[in-house]
Amino acid sequence: MESLIFTTHSVRCCLICILLAITASSAHGQLLDKLGKKVERKVKQRIEQKTDRAIDKGLDKAEEALSKPSKTRPTETQPGGGQPSTVTTAPPVGPFSIESDFDFTSGEKLIFYDDFSEDALGDFPAKWNTNGSGEVVTVDGLEGKWLRIPDNTLSFAEIGTALPDNFTVEFDLYYPKGVSRPPITFGFTDAKNPATESIRQKKLFYYRISPSVDNQLGYSTSLYSGREVNKDWPANARAGKPVRVSIAVNGQRIRLYMDQAKLFDLPRAFEPANLRSNFHLRAAELLPAPQDGFYIANLRIAETGLDARSQLLKNGRFSTTGIYFNTNSAEIKAESAGVLQEIAAILNDNPTLGITIIGHTDSDGEDAHNLQLSKARAANVKTVLCEHYGVAPDRLKTDGKGEQDPVADNGTPAGKAENRRVEFIKH
- d(CA 50, CA 393) in angstroms, rounded, equals 50
In a domain, 263, yes or no: yes
Taking phi over 0 as left and psi of -120 to 50 as alpha, with beta for the rest, 25 belongs to: beta
pLDDT tens string 362-374: 999 899 999 999 9
State residue 158's pLDDT score.
Answer: 94
Q: Please report, for residues 155, 194, 205, 209, 221, the alpha-carbon distance to residue 202 in angstroms, rounded to integers and kept in the order given.
A: 16, 10, 10, 20, 10
State residue 354's pLDDT score.
Answer: 95
- d(CA 363, CA 175) in angstroms, rounded, equals 32
Q: Which amino acid is at 295?
A: Y
Based on the domain organization, do 284 and 375 belong to the same domain? Answer: no
Nearest 5°: phi and psi at 400? -145, 140
Nearest 5°: phi and psi at 220? -145, 135
Q: Which amino acid is at 224?
A: Y
Nearest 5°: phi and psi at 325? -125, 155
- d(CA 229, CA 223) in angstroms, rounded, equals 15
Based on the domain organization, do 334 and 212 belong to the same domain? Answer: no
Half-sphere exposure of 30 (CA within 13 A, CB side): 0
Half-sphere exposure of 60 (CA within 13 A, CB side): 6
pLDDT of 353 over the 80 cut = yes
In a domain, 91, yes or no: no
Based on the domain organization, do 221 and 334 belong to the same domain? Answer: no
State residue 272's pLDDT score.
Answer: 80
Range of the structural domain that residue 224 is part of? 109-303
The model's confidence at residue 220, banded by pLDDT at 50, 70 and 90, is confident
State residue 37's pLDDT score.
Answer: 53
Among 303, 338, 355, give the residue marking a domain's end.
303
Based on the domain organization, do 280 and 414 belong to the same domain? Answer: no
- The stretches of 190-298 forming alpha helices (DSSP H) are none
pLDDT of 90 over the 70 cut = no
In a domain, 223, yes or no: yes
Among 303, 334, 366, give the residue marking a domain's end.
303
Least confident of 66-80, 252-266, 281-295, 410-424: 66-80
In a domain, 94, yes or no: no
Based on the domain organization, do 282 and 333 belong to the same domain? Answer: no
Among 303, 333, 363, give the residue marking a domain's end.
303
In three-state secondary structure terms, 273 is: helix
Q: Could you tell me whether strands 154-157 and 128-130 are parallel, antiparallel, or unpaired per DSSP bridges?
A: antiparallel
State residue 260's pLDDT score.
Answer: 85
Residue 313 sits in a domain of what CATH number? 3.30.1330.60
Based on the domain organization, do 284 and 382 belong to the same domain? Answer: no
pLDDT tens string 114-146: 999 999 999 999 999 999 889 999 999 999 999
Based on the domain organization, do 265 and 152 belong to the same domain? Answer: yes
Taking phi over 0 as left and psi of -120 to 50 as alpha, with beta for the rest, 359 belongs to: beta
Q: Which amino acid is at 262?
A: K
In a domain, 70, yes or no: no
Whether the full predicted model's pTM is greater than 0.85, yes or no, is no
Least confident of 86-90, 140-144, 213-217, 236-240: 86-90
Q: At what angle do helices 337-349 and 367-389 cross, to 10 degrees?
A: 60
Based on the domain organization, do 370 and 340 belong to the same domain? Answer: yes
Based on the domain organization, do 296 and 317 belong to the same domain? Answer: no
- d(CA 276, CA 289) in angstroms, rounded, equals 31
Q: Which amino acid is at 315?
A: N
Based on the domain organization, do 218 and 200 belong to the same domain? Answer: yes
- d(CA 374, CA 365) in angstroms, rounded, equals 12
The count of domains in the chain is: 3
Nearest 5°: phi and psi at 283? -100, 130
- d(CA 160, CA 414) in angstroms, rounded, equals 15
